[in-house]
Structures are given as structure tokens and as C-alpha cells.
């Protein structure tokens, strides 16, 4: 009878409550609907929402038993393991992110769009690791428009309140107990375990203090009063099921409480049912006495109603039978609908106007329109202001996004994230021999991000090879690669760390860079004056060196980004310090051929131009230039900046020196200062 009851409760609340709301000064907040269970509270709220009657829940539920706790667990698990495809798909299917079956099926066919989601979740992972849970989660809510999506549901305020409450609890736990990502996810799983203790501070909060109907559990309503009360679910029976465990107080043993685990043939069943009826009567009394002015009690021939508290009060059995519950049920079973109505009429007549009897309205009720809105014609206001569409947070990906779309390579331009290369050349090189070693390692964005992650985690000294092997193995598993690649990748890592980065006597190799002298995935912002492709072309044509000025300015002019200003954002793969100078490095996993010779200087220069990496590292250099002159009191560009390295990982071989796999440049001071004037507005 629950589903019909919900529909009818909606009708009663609309027909009765809706009319009451039209009579000033009664407000929605003056009305309470009392329920026994949280499930009934949700049914009532759904019905009221369908009728446009605002409501809030005052329930006894626990935060970790909600659907939102399950969704939070799924989303955070995917953020914790962004390369785990099943976890990410489950997270996308939550109401927080709103992807349906068709969306997920489409993502399975669209590699570029799927990779966009993977990269976004990697960003959330990195932000959580570097800045903490709450900083990441606030960014996630904003970026994914979670608030708007949840509030679009009929019970949106309840859902959003639960999500924000969960975030607050998780933040508090992570701060007080110093829990990292893994620890916090484990703690959340433990709290969701039904066997875990339920703490009072984790009870559900009121989702709004706005003017709204109060949906309250009877237990929580004790001691409170409301002008108008509805009691739609007070017909719970008092009979114990055939195999149902029950409690009773034994009068022969000083009224000690007993739990009956084998109820089928227990002689104390009658005592247990009598105590249930007494509890039902107590709850009915609490319900009926919460109303100051008016109380609505719904009654009729519902399932189990024959042994309920209203049946005992309104249709009591004759005499004082020993088995009061069975007698009450037998009496009610023998009544016709006319008998029930006649008994209620008698009660109303004897109450001398204090009780009124009326039929439940049929149908689902009509949507409530507040009296204040009656007769009002609604219309849209026209916005006459000017929206500046050129103001934005720009990035290298944004500036080159249209060019990437034209070449049909997967693009992350819509997301301001680390610019991980796609692992292939835009102009594929024809293989001259069968690939082996690192040249045979899979291509693509997933492989590129894997290699980036490895270099971010390892100790460059190379002294602890077992630790490097462990990192490589872990990343291969995380990204879904077969473990037979471990030896190949470790060999490549060793070569990159040992390779000389530049000629000269200083012997610069990455293996000489300690952890204290490096920063990985350094995020930056700097203010951005209005820029266009033509403005960038002019700067590089007038101030770039011979290799750049020859043809690169014309390539820049062909970029199709809209005029932009605001802020420039980016991520530098590696910033390190060596012998008093600062250097930038970027890892590239692009596949240019099956031999070291395919990664020579001419090939790398062509690759740098075609992919606009030259523009990328000048942006990075400008960001570092601004950072150092704000941090170093005696900063001088030529004294403190050592240059840029783009390391094409597949082509590095220390035995061949820096001639293969390593692109190096030291942008001229004049060019950097010109970029600073044009992009930032200061020399």
C-alpha cells in the first residue's frame, strides 16, 4: 500500500495543505508531515516536490547511508585512480557527473573525448595530492558544475546538502588525522560499512532553512509543535511475522528484556505483539499531539491496518481479550467500509465540531501556485550589458587548439591541463626497420602520460635502481600496460638520466640533479595583455634568432585562436637548478622513427616547429623569468637562466651525446623582454 499511499498523501497535502497555504498568514513552514521511517520521508518529499510545494527533511538518517555517500565514494575512487577505466566509467555514471548509457557508449568510441576525461581526473588527482582534499573538491564542484546538476533534481537541495556535508566531514578527517588520498578513501569505505558505528555528528542536516513544509520523523518531533500536522502513515500493524525475531519483557523474570531468535513456536509471541501495539499507540499519541491548530490523520482499510494503533482506538474489540492484537485484527477484518465510516461519523459527532470527517481526494493533485503569484504575468528581462568574450584564462593548448583539430589529433584544448604530447609525430615517419626496445613501446597519449609520471616520481640520481623499477612497475599496472615493458622502460630511463644535456666541461646530466634542486609539474599563472596571432608573429619576427625568424612567425600567424586577455596558465614538466643556473625541461614521447638517428637535430627542429613547441617553451621561459625576478634580489636573465631542454625520450642515447633526442635552446634576452612587454605589459 506504500505506492498508493504516496499518491494519496500528495493529493491530501495539495487539496488540504495547498488551500491552507493560500490563507495568510499560514506559511509552508507552519506545516509538518510526520513519518515513522526515512523511506516514508523521502516518499513525502518527492510527492510535495512534484506539486511544487517546498519541503525539507528532519530525519534521523546517517550521512554515510545515503546515495550521495555511495556516489562520493565512486567519484573519489576514480580521482584516486584516474587511469583505471572501470572506476572512471562508474564515476561518470553518477548523478554528480550525469553520464548515461548512451554517453558512455559514445565515449568508448571517441578516444579523444575519453582521453579528455582521463586527463581531467588526473588533474584532480594531482591537485588533491599537492593541495589537499578540500581544495581539489571545490575545484571539482566548480569545473564539473555539480551544484547545478544536482539542483536540477526534484530533491536537489537534499542531494547537494549531503554532498557538501560529506565534503566537510572528509576535510575535517583528512586534516585532523593527516590522511592522504589512500587513507581518506579507506576511511570513507569504512564509514559506509553498515557494521560501522553511526555517530551523532554524521546525522543528516536540514537541507534548507527556507520557508518550507517540514517532513519530520515522529521520534524527532517529540517536544515540538506545529500549527498544522499531517499524519499519513500511522497504520503499521502489530503482528509479528512467522519467522520474525522479536523482543519482549518477561513479567515472570523481573520484566527483563528477551530477544527471541526462534519465534515460530515461542509462547511469548502474544507478549511481544502486545508491546508492539503499545509502542504504536505511543507513536500515534506523539503524532496527534504535535499540532497546535489542526491535525490530519489518514485512515482506511490499508494493508496491516487491522492490528494498528488507530484500529485499536477507533474500532476496539469487545471486552478485554487476553490476545488483544489478534482480537483487534479479527474485529477490524469483520467490518465493512460502511461500518468503518459509521464508527468515524459517531466519533466526529461526539467531538462536537472538533473532528471533521472527509474523503481522501482522488488523483495525484494539482501543482500549487502561491497566492502571491496568482494573476501575475511572467516575462523575461532583456540583458543590455556587454559581455567581454576575450577575457579568459589562456594556455598553450588553447592557443593551438584549432590547429590540433585541423590535424585530427586528440585535443585537450578545452581543459587547462599539463600539455602531455600525444606520443606520435604529426607527420608520421616511414619505418626503415622493425622497431625494438623503446621504439616498439606503444604510442599515444596514455603512453606519454605514463612516461611523464615516471620521471615525476623517480630519484634522478639512479643510485637506487630497485626503487626506479618499482615505480615503473607500478605505473605500468596503473596505466594498463603489460609488465614485459618494465625492462625496456627502465633501460630508457637510465639512458635519459645519464645523457649529457649540453656540451662543455660542467657535465650536466639529470643524474646530478638532486630532489631538492628540482620541481616537477610546476603550475604557473601570469597576467595576460590582449594577444592575437599577428601580435605574436611580430614579436618572433623582430626578435627571434635565425632558426626561429626564418619561417616560424608565419606558422604562428596561421594559428586561429580568438583575441585573448586575462591570465596565461600552464604546467612546466621540470624546473631544475644546476651550478647557479635555472633550467626548464619538457618530456616528449613522440615517435619519430625506429632508430636513434631518426631523432637528430634537424628532425627535432622540424618537430618543435610543427607542434608549436617553440611557442610553448617561450611561454614557459617568460613565466620563469617573471618568477625569478620576483624571487631573486640580484636576478639577471643571462646570469641565472641556463636554457630549455626538450627531451625526446625514445631517441636519447648517452653514448651518442646530445646530438640525438635532445633539443636545447637559450631564448635571447631581447626576445624574452619583448614577449614580457607584449604579453604582460612590463619589460
- Domains delineated in the chain: 2-52+220-350 (no CATH), 63-202 (1.10.486.10), 392-680 (3.90.320.10)
Mean confidence (pLDDT) of the chain: 84
Instruction: Work out the number of other CB atoms within 10 angstroms of the CB of residue 229.
Output: 26
Instruction: Work out the number of other CB atoms within 10 angstroms of the CB of residue 247.
Output: 13
* Long-range Cβ contacts of 336-344 (<8 Å, 24+ apart): 337/301, 340/300, 340/301, 340/315, 343/314, 343/315, 344/299, 344/314
CA-to-CA distance for 465 and 459, rounded, in angstroms? 9
The pLDDT value given to residue 146: 94
**Residues 435, 596 contacting (CB under 8 angstroms):** no
Mean pLDDT over 501-507 rounds to: 77
Nearest residue to 612 via CA among 317, 433, 402: 402
pLDDT tens sequence across 599-611? 999 999 999 999 9
Nearest residue to 226 via CA among 6, 444, 470, 33: 33
pLDDT tens sequence across 253-306? 777 887 777 766 667 778 888 889 999 999 999 999 999 999 999 998 888 888
Instruction: Work out the number of other CB atoms within 10 angstroms of the CB of residue 79.
Output: 26
Provide the β-strand partners of residue 289: none
Taking the model in full, what pTM does it have?
0.55
Question: What is the pLDDT confidence band of residue 210, given thresholds at 50, 70 and 90?
Answer: low
The pLDDT value given to residue 71: 95
Mean pLDDT over 56-74 rounds to: 83
Q: Angle, nearest 10°, between helix axes 486-498 and 465-479?
A: 130
CA-to-CA distance for 493 and 650, rounded, in angstroms? 10
Cα separation values, 95 from 90, 117, 150, 172, 554, Å: 11, 16, 7, 25, 47
C-alpha Rg value of the chain to the nearest Å: 35
Question: What is the pLDDT confidence band of residue 59, given thresholds at 50, 70 and 90?
Answer: low
Cα separation values, 578 from 499, 512, 640, Å: 15, 8, 10
Residues with a catalytic annotation lie at 586
Q: What angle do CA 81, 84, 89 make, to 5 degrees?
A: 105
Amino acid at each position: 500500500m506504500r505506492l498508493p499511499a504516496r499518491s494519496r498523501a500528495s493529493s491530501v497535502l495539495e487539496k488540504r495543505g495547498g488551500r491552507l497555504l493560500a490563507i495568510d498568514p499560514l506559511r509552508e513552514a507552519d506545516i509538518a508531515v510526520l513519518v515513522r521511517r526515512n523511506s516514508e520521508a523521502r516518499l513525502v518529499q518527492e510527492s510535495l516536490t512534484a506539486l511544487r510545494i517546498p519541503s525539507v527533511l528532519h530525519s534521523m538518517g546517517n550521512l554515510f547511508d545515503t546515495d550521495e555517500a555511495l556516489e562520493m565514494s565512486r567519484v573519489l575512487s576514480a580521482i584516486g585512480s584516474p587511469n583505471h577505466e572501470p572506476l572512471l566509467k562508474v564515476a561518470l555514471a553518477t548523478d554528480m557527473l550525469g553520464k548515461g548509457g548512451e554517453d558512455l557508449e559514445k565515449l568508448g568510441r571517441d578516444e579523444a573525448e575519453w582521453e579528455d576525461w582521463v586527463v581531467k581526473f588526473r588533474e584532480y588527482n594531482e591537485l588533491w595530492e599537492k593541495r589537499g582534499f578540500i581544495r581539489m573538491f571545490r575545484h571539482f564542484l566548480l569545473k564539473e558544475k555539480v551544484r547545478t546538476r544536482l539542483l536540477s533534481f526534484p530533491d536537489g537541495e537534499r542531494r547537494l546538502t549531503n554532498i557538501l556535508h560529506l565534503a566537510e566531514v572528509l576535510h575535517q578527517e583528512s586534516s585532523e588525522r593527516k590522511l592522504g588520498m589512500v587513507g581518506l578513501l579507506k576511511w570513507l569505505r569504512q564509514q559506509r560499512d553498515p557494521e560501522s558505528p553511526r555517530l551523532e555528528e554524521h546525522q543528516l542536516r536540514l537541507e534548507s532553512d527556507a520557508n518550507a513544509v517540514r517532513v519530520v520523523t515522529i521520534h524527532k518531533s517529540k517536544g515540538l509543535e506545529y500549527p498544522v500536522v499531517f499524519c499519513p502513515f500511522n497504520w503499521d500493524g502489530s503482528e509479528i511475522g512467522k519467522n520474525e525475531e522479536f523482543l519482549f519483557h518477561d513479567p515472570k523474570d523481573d520484566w527483563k528484556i528477551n530477544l527471541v531468535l526462534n519465534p515460530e513456536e515461542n509462547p511469548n509471541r502474544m507478549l511481544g505483539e502486545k508491546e508492539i501495539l503499545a509502542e504504536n499507540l505511543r507513536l500515534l499519541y506523539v503524532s496527534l499531539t504535535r499540532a497546535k491548530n489542526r491535525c490530519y490523520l489518514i485512515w482506511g482499510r490499508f494493508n496491516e491496518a487491522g492490528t494498528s494503533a488507530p484500529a485499536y482506538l477507533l474500532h476496539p474489540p469487545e471486552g478485554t481479550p487476553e490476545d488483544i492484537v489478534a482480537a483487534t485484527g479479527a474485529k477490524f477484518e469483520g467490518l465493512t467500509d460502511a461500518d468503518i465510516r459509521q464508527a468515524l461519523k459517531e466519533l466526529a459527532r461526539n467531538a462536537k465540531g472538533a473532528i471533521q470527517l472527509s474523503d481522501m481526494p482522488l488523483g495525484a493533485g494539482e501543482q500549487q501556485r502561491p497566492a502571491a503569484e496568482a494573476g501575475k504575468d511572467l516575462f523575461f528581462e532583456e540583458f543590455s550589458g556587454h559581455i567581454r568574450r576575450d577575457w579568459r584564462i589562456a594556455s598553450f593548448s588553447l592557443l593551438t587548439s584549432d590547429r590540433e583539430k585541423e590535424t585530427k589529433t586528440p585535443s585537450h584544448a578545452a581543459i587547462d591541463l599539463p600539455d602531455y604530447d600525444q606520443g606520435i609525430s604529426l607527420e608520421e615517419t616511414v619505418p626503415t626497420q622493425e622497431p625494438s626496445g623503446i621504439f616498439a613501446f606503444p604510442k599515444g597519449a596514455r603512453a606519454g602520460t605514463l612516461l611523464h609520471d615516471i620521471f615525476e616520481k623517480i630519484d634522478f640520481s639512479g643510485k637506487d635502481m630497485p626503487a626506479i623499477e618499482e615505480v615503473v612497475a607500478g605505473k605500468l599496472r596503473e596505466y594498463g600496460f603489460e609488465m614485459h615493458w618494465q625492462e625496456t622502460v627502465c633501460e630508457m630511463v637510465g639512458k635519459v638520466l645519464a645523457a649529457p644535456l649540453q656540451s662543455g666541461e660542467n657535465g650536466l646530466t639529470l643524474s646530478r640533479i638532486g630532489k631538492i634542486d628540482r620541481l616537477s609539474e610546476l603550475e604557473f599563472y601570469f597576467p595576460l595583455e590582449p594577444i592575437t596571432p599577428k601580435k605574436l608573429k611580430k614579436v618572433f619576427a623582430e626578435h627571434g634568432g635565425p632558426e626561429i625568424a626564418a619561417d616560424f612567425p608565419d606558422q604562428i600567424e596561421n594559428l586561429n585562436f580568438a583575441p585573448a586577455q586575462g591570465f596565461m596558465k600552464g604546467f612546466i614538466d621540470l624546473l631544475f637548478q644546476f651550478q647557479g643556473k635555472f633550467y626548464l625541461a619538457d618530456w616528449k614521447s613522440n615517435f619519430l622513427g625506429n632508430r636513434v638517428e631518426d631523432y637528430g637535430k634537424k628532425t627535432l627542429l622540424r618537430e618543435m616547429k610543427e607542434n608549436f613547441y617553440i611557442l610553448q617553451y617561450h611561454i614557459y621561459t617568460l613565466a620563469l623569468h617573471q618568477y625569478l625576478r620576483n624571487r631573486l634580489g640580484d636576478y639577471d636573465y643571462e646570469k641565472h637562466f641556463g636554457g630549455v631542454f626538450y627531451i625526446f625520450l625514445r631517441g636519447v642515447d648517452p653514448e651518442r651525446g646530445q646530438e640525438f633526442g635532445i633539443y636545447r635552446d637559450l631564448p635571447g634576452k631581447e626576445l624574452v623582454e619583448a614577449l614580457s612587454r607584449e604579453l604582460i605589459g612590463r619589460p
